[in-house]
Amino acid sequence: VPMLEAGLDVTALDYSDEGLRELRLRATRFEHQLGVVKHDVHEPLPFPDESFDACYSHMLFNMALSTEELISLTQETRRVLRPGGVLVYTARHTGDAHYGVGADFGDNRFENGGFVVHFFDRDLVDRLADGFELDDVTPFNEGELPRKLFRVTMTRAPIT
């Protein structure tokens, strides 16, 4: 909702009808600025090339996606960004207290509390930046544990 309050047009993407319904309820006064799309990010993004000025994701990249799936998702995001478009994402990193705890699914993925989390190291951040200018990687803490995350900001380089 803060992005809507700032006057931005927002397209929200989620695999869950419940999540999209909750967003619509919270953003009723911004209906004219909000589009919602139900989508599974294992599939190509359902948008034309160069559709967006920016993409933001809070911990989506931490889902049980493999590194190859993350590379594909990042390249799909690059495809739908306009030249100079910005991708900002947050992801829990290997300094997090839950890294290495729980069932090991390989590829820096561990199950905790019923969720498989892909933990990021700096090498993965750099790999995902292919085709982007990596502008900033800022570690920060969130929540009670606290969770340890990176906030990554990248700008889409021109497609050559």
Kindly give the pairing relationship between strand 10-14 and strand 34-38: parallel
Model pLDDT for residues 95-130, shown as the tens digit of each residue: 999 999 999 999 999 998 899 999 999 999 999 999
pLDDT of residue 159: 67
Token pair in block for residue 56? 């933001």
Q: Which of 58, 47, 41, 66 minimizes the C-alpha distance to 118?
A: 66
Helical spans, DSSP H, in the chain: 2-5, 17-26, 67-80, 122-128
pLDDT of residue 160: 64
Tokens 């890294």 found at = 99
127 close to 69: Cβ distance less than 8 angstroms? no
In this prediction, the residues of the chain whose per-residue pLDDT falls under 70 are 159-160
pLDDT of residue 1: 81
pLDDT of residue 150: 98
Alpha-carbon gap, residue 89 to 60, rounded angstroms: 8
* Domains defined for the chain, CATH in brackets: 1-39 (no CATH), 44-156 (3.40.50.150)
